[in-house]
Structure formats: structure tokens, C-alpha cells
Amino acid sequence: MSFSEEAVHFESNGKRLFGIFHPASDGNKKFGIIFANSGMQNRVGPHRLYVTFARILSQRGYSVLRIDFPGIGESEGEVNETHFDAHNPDDTVSAVDFLKKEKKIRKIALFGLCAGARNVIKAASIDQRVERVVMWSLPIIWISPSFPAPALKKDPRGWMSRKGAILTLKDKFQKSMHIDAWKRYFSSGQNLMGILITVRSIFWNLISNEDKWSQKRHHVFFTAFSAYVKSGRPALFLYGSKDNVLIEEYKEKIKEISENKKNSACLKIISNGNHSFTSVDTKTEAISETIEWLSQWSNDRCNA
């Protein structure tokens, strides 16, 4: 089997962005999937997830483009903010242009994990050429407890709902019972200030009466989410069962916007999976479930 992966560049908003292109192993140019960075992780993904997944997809007849957003990996630019709406969906749309124009790929889907999932649904809501979206561990409101709450100067609640704050409190309490957790925390150069910031964020969320669906800091994302789901284009929402807050918030949100009408969103839950499907077993299952879902798309090969 010959190695055919290629380092590529494309322009976006005046910046030269980088990606790795995996052509479909059978040479077809029908289906292409763009992988968007998971937060600050470069195109390789957490524990090399994006590389593994892209290589399997390539063997199954899909071309894949793993991109780096500005300031990440090999791309030009700087990272100015580190929250999960920090990356501009226009950059993903530029990657769609690249696949269509330079690689002559006819049908496009997007994939992202966590912050990458937020990005791709926003990109798909503004680019009708995107036919499908695969979102793993899409945060609706809540952030992972290990993720520092952003924009604290502007809003001490960070990115949490009240329920998220309660669960964060439980999670932190549970971890604080283990000496290894403290060792890890302090040995990494962290100090008490980090703990105080988290406690402050939890406190403000606990006393907040804010309606979580009206949170201004999520407005752009909620609009994009609704627009995409209502467009009728298929979407896969895949979560690890350990991401219980995210799953619950997803269910509430999808119910609210679809008003119990039928929609093309599909929810899959991977047993024992955590936020980034760290274990090899859960990663393998998540990939397998996604490929099964994508097969509905590629079954249209004859008509494509």
C-alpha cells in the first residue's frame, strides 16, 4: 500500500493555512471530509485521533483534509483567545473551497471534536455545500471541568450553566479526594489562583437565575445550531457516556428547536467513552459508529 498523504496550503482571510490531505485510497473524488481542530490541538488531534480516523476513512473511499486554524500547528497567524468559539468558521469554509476547487471533490462533510464540533456546525450553517456534519462531544453550554473557564474578566460565570456548575463541583470534589490529582495539579506549576477562579465561576453560576438558552455568549452558536438542524441536512452527534452533562444539554436543545418534529439529527452514545475518547477501545467504537452513519451518504455513490 503506497503512502499518499500530502502536505497542502490554502488561503483564508489573507492567511496561509496548512493541512494534510488524504486522498481516497480507491482514487474516487466523490466524498471529502474536512477535520477541524479540536480546540488548541493541531491537525493530529488528541492522542493522534485525527490521524487514525483519517487513515481509516481514506481506506473506506473518503478523501480527508485535516486542517490547522490560524496560529495552530503549521498555519500562519496567532492564537488570541483559547475558548471553544475562538476559531473562525470562515476558515473551514475556505477549506471547503480548497477541496472543491483544488482537489475536485464533489460532496463535502465536516468533522470536529469538542471546539471543532462547534466550529463545523457554524461553518455548515453558512455554507450550503456542506452535506453532512459529524460532531463528537459537541459542547452546548458546559465545558469540561479540566478546561479553564474563558472570558472570566467579562463574565465570571465562564462557560457553564447552573447544572454544569453543580456537576463541576461534584467532579472537582471527587478528584480532590485523590492525592495524585493534587500532585498533578501543583507539579504542573499551577497555584491556588487557578482553584479560586474555578470556585468563583461555580459560585456565580450557582446563584445565577439566567435562562441558559438565552445566554448571550452562546447566541451565535445557538443560531447556527438551529439553522443547521432545521435545514434538514443530516448531522451526527456522538458523545461518550461519561459526558453526561453534554448529552443532557444536547437533548434539551434539540427538543427545544425541533419542537418534537422529526429532524435529521442522529445521536449516538459510546459506552464508557470520555470527552475525547481517550481509550483505544472507545476511540475504535466511535470511529466504527461514525463510518456506519457515513455509509448512508456513500451508499448514494451510484447517484453521486
Residues at the site binding other proteins, with contacts judged by CB under 8 A = 3, 5, 7, 18, 20, 39-44, 46-49, 51, 71-74, 79, 82, 146-148, 175, 178, 180-181, 184-185, 187-190, 194, 242, 272, 274, 276-281, 283
CA distances from 218 to 84, 110, 137, 215, 221 (A): 11, 21, 17, 6, 5
Nearer to other proteins by Cβ, of 74 and 127: the residue is 74
CB of 101 to other proteins, least distance (A): 20
* Pick from 147, 118, 156: nearest CA to 135: 118
Nearer to other proteins by Cβ, of 20 and 109: the residue is 20
CB of 219 to other proteins, least distance (A): 24
CB of 42 to other proteins, least distance (A): 5
Residue 218 DSSP label: G
CB of 204 to other proteins, least distance (A): 20
Q: C-alpha cell of 145? A: 471541568
Nearer to other proteins by Cβ, of 180 and 259: the residue is 180
Non-local (6+) Cβ contacts of 69 within 8 A are 17, 36, 37, 75, 77, 87, 88, 91, 119
Nearer to other proteins by Cβ, of 126 and 167: the residue is 167
Nearer to other proteins by Cβ, of 86 and 224: the residue is 86
Nearer to other proteins by Cβ, of 143 and 254: the residue is 143
CB of 280 to other proteins, least distance (A): 5
CB of 230 to other proteins, least distance (A): 33
